[in-house]
Each structure stands twice: as C-alpha cells, then as structure tokens.
Structure 1
Amino acid sequence: MIESEPEGDPASESLDGLTSKDKKRISEYAEHTLHPRTRSQYEAIWGRFAAFCEERGVSSPLPATPEIIAAYLANRAQDLAAVTVSKDAYAISWKHKQKGLRDPTLAPEVRTVLKGIRQTADPDEGYGKRKALLTEDIQAVIRTLPLEEPPSEVGPKERAKHLRALRTRALFLIGYAGGFRASELIAIRMRDIALNESGMDVHVPEAKNGPRDTGISYATDPDFCPVHSLRAWVEAVGIKAGPVFRRVRHSAEVPPDDAANPINYSTLWREINIAAEAADIDSDQVGPHSLRRGHVTQAKLNGADIDRIRRHVGHKHLEVTVGYVEDVNRMKTNTSQELGL
C-alpha cells in the first residue's frame, strides 16, 4: 500500500519551499509597496510585455524566462530611451515579486542587455523633453521627506529611511543647484568639494566637455540649502573620503570610506521618481535630467544671463543652452495672449 503525503505538507505545495499561504501574503504586501500611479504604470507595462510574449508564442508570461525578457527589452530599445527601457525592467521585476516569484531580471542575460542598452544610448537620449523640476517642485519634494531625526529606540528600518531621506535631499539640491549631469552628480567624491565663506566649489573632473569647477552658494533658507543638506548627509553617516552618494543598507549601515562605491544611475533614477511621486509630481515625466533642465529653466526665468547659465552647467556651445530654454522663451513670446481669449 502506498502512503499518501500528509495533507497540507508545506514541502508538497512548492518546490521553492513556499506554501500557497506564503505566496498569498507576499502578494498582498507587495501590492502596497508602490504609489497607486506607479502601480498603474507598471500594470500597463506588464500588459505590453504579456502581449509581446503572446506574439512570440510564449504560453504564459509569468514566470518569465530571462531570455524572453532580454528579447523584449532589446526590442523596446529600438524606439525608446534607455531610461524608459529600465522602467520596463522594474515593472517586470515588480510583477514577479508581487506574485512571490524569483526576480528574473537579475539574471545575467537581462543585466547584460540592460547594460548594453545604457552604454550605447545617447547620454541625453530622451531626457530633453522631461519635465524641468523648478524651485517650487524641489521644495515640494523636500517637504515630503522624513528628515526629522528619529528617536533612538526606533529600529534599523526607520533609521535607514531617515538616512535615505537625507541622501535624497542632498541629491536633489546639489543636482539642481549645480546643474549637474547624472553621471557628474553620482561621481562626486569628498576630495572634489571645497567649502568657502560663500558656499562651496565642486570640481567635476570628468565632465562631458572637460573638467570644470562649479560654485554653489548658500541658500537663504537652511531647509533648502544645498550646502547644509550635503553637510547633514555626510555627517550623519560619517563620510570623510570617497564617494559622497553611496548605498544605505536596510540595516541602516553605510559602506565605510575604504569600501564604498557611488550609487548607480538606476538608483538615482529610482530615488528621483519615488520622491516625485510622494510630492504628487508625475514620475513618468521626470528623471535625473529634470534637475539639470530645471536649473537652466529657473535661472532663465529669474533673469540670469544665458552665457552665465552655459558656463555654470558646462555646455560647450551656447546654442545647446538656448535649446534648453526654448520652452521658457516660447511662453514669454507667444502671441496667443493677444487674441483676447
């Protein structure tokens, strides 16, 4: 007589050791990890991916193989900016985590394709039309951040959230005030910063058009001051040397100076999108370039000379800077306001 397995034996329900209840709980909590607008966007992306799988004869997109994901991303990269393709990968990753499945986007096949897409893309591809984050937007974002020092008895999760908020504030304010490219912002090291009585100088050793030094002044309001925000971040985590913007682990630990690497572009993009969502700014319209574009736009709106702006952000040719402020000029010079509507 063959004995049947005991009913409800967890091992009999899943080869990966998860029971159906485990997966249900994971799915329920994963459902609440995103802002409703982001979740809606991710569901739309998932629908496109599922349709692609169906076209390719894949019986089910869930779980997806790394190969079909790589093919989908490579296909999307033919017509879309690298940052949009990266968002597709995030959505596919999220869908699998939501269902309690292993994340196939971490597979070497997918990571290699994503890296190739980023490396072959135009550095400014798709960014010029992204929303310029202006001063009021930056301030709105910062007001949503949990910047207040948490009580000493809180756990590492809350402590890590606070440290990331300090880092996010510094990223936004330094990126905006400096008008830096994303690659320049995440590459800033402590040795590149020199404080002075007016604020600080940031040396950019590997800029697109050659090394440059960018001055950033103290702000009138300490809550929105790029210099104070940077100091608050580095002092909170004890940074003395090495990359300024580095990882914050879930344990609230930050890599020490001799073992730290700068955050990558994907982390910067994700931080900006999450913070924008919290401030009710459509994250689908913003990205790292929104800080640089915002600097140029706001400075021009406030009357700054176009050549001063060009030198500050490191444009080689004036016409490039002019291209950034076309929207500003268009709103000032259009004749629709003379139509009596």
Structure 2
Amino acid sequence: MRLITLREIVAKCDTDIFGLRDRAMLLLGFAIAARRAELAGLRLRNIRDDDNGLLIDVRVSKTEPRTVPVPYGTRPETCPVRAWKAWAAAAHIVEPDRHAFRRVHHTGAVQPHGLSPQRASDLITAAGLRAGCEELFTGHSVRSGLATEARRKGKDRKAIAAITGHKENSKVLDGYMQIVDQWDEKDNALVGIGL
C-alpha cells in the first residue's frame, strides 16, 4: 500500500463512528507496520500518550513484542495520532484492558468486544474497495506499505526493522519491501548508473 493510496483510502472514510474507527485502524496499522492480529490484539493499555505522539506497545506478535514511537503526522488528515484520539474519544474507550479497536453495531453503538484478526483485515479490504482502489488490500497491506514507503524515503533498515519487529538483517523484511515505481532511481538499478 503506497502512502498516496493510503491517503486516498482514508479520505473516503466517513466522519461517522465507522469511519473514525477505520481511519484510526488504517493509519495506526500503517504507522506500526501491524499484522492483522497485532491490530486486533491492541488494548487501550498498549497505547500511551507522549509529548511527541503515541507509544504503542505491540504485545500480540508473531515475533518479539515491540514498542513503536508514533509521532504526530505533518498532515492532520493522515496523522495516526490524531486519528486514534478522535476514535478513542468518539468510542469512549477508557477501560485499559478492553480492545482498542472494537466492533460497531449497525446502529453506531460501539461494542465492548474487540475485532477478530480476520475482521480487522476485512475492514482494511473494504476501505480499499470503497476508495475504488484496483489493488485488493488485505490486513498485511499496511505492514508491507510502511516497509516499502520507508525504504523509498531512504530510511535506515535498522529503523524500519525497529518498527516492523524484524531482525536487523532479516531476509523476510526484504520481502515486505516492494518495487513501487519501476522507473524510480531507487527502484530501478539501471536508472542513473551512466548507461
């Protein structure tokens, strides 16, 4: 999931309780390079305020637990911190042991039950479809998207691995980093070599 695509998807999220949840889940999921189970497993106690943004303790993980510092975004409409705070306030999430992302009844009532990993993935897929994206997004798209976009911006592999939870020289991390633009200097080894 490219950052520009993420922007298009969250722009199509409604301003109602469903849209607030989906926007927060997409942006926070991207920011912490979450797997679907990691998103579904987040509890309120795992999300702490900091002067610079949020500290997210990812405890439900296939690999080692990790803490991801999520700074305020430069664009209010795609800021994961602001999106989380808007969802948490609207959903009245105050109990520390309850799920951060919850089911919402069709009437708009926020349920005490959290999302299953499959439901978190389904919501990401549905958000992409609503935005008219040609590519089918899944629960893993936000994870791959962060790794890819961070690489494109020249971020250090160690910094990317700290967010994704991979070991520094992980071959699996390489699999997450996709070629985004076949004509870009960073994505095409032939561009700029002097041919």
**Aligned residue identity for 2:101:** F
Identity of counterpart residues, as a percentage? 28
1:327 equivalent in structure 2? 179
Shift of 1:221: 1.4
User: Does the alignment pair 1:308 with 2:176?
Assistant: no
Rate the CA distance shift 1:326–1:226 in 2: closer, same or farther, 3 A.
closer
Give the whole-Å Cα distance in 2 for the aligned partners of 1:220 and 1:282.
27
Structure richer in helix, relative to its length: 1
How far apart are the structure 1 equivalents of 2:14 and 2:178?
36
Find the partner of 2:110 among 254, 260, 263. 254
Does structure 1 retain, via aligned residues, the 8 Å contact 2:37–2:60? no
Matching residue of 2:36:
182
Deviation per CA, 1:52-83, whole angstroms, max 9, x where unpaired?
xxxxxxxxxxxxxxxxxxxxxxxxxxxxxxxx
Q: Which runs of 5+ in 1 are unaligned?
A: 1-132, 148-161
Aligned equivalents of 1:280, 1:135: Cα separation in 2: 15
Q: 2:5 maps to which residue? A: 137
- Please give the secondary structure, in 1, of the residue aligned with 2:110: coil
List aligned pairs for 1:109-258, cutoff 5 A: 133-147=1-15, 162-241=16-95, 242-255=98-111
TM-score, length basis structure 2: 0.88
Which protein shows a greater Rg? 1
SS at match of 1:333: coil
- Kindly indicate which of the two structures has a greater share of residues assigned to strand: 2
- The match for 1:26 is none
Moved over 3 A (4+): 328-331, 333-338
Where 1:214 maps in the other structure, the secondary structure is strand
Of structures 1 and 2, the one with the larger relative CO (CA 8 A, separation 6+) is 2
The total of aligned residue pairs comes to 188
- Which sections of structure 2, spanning at least 5 residues, go unmatched? none
Alpha-carbon RMSD? 2.1
Work out the CA distance in 2 between the residues paired with 1:335 and 1:268.
39
Partner of 1:159: none
Structure 2 counterpart SS, 1:201: strand
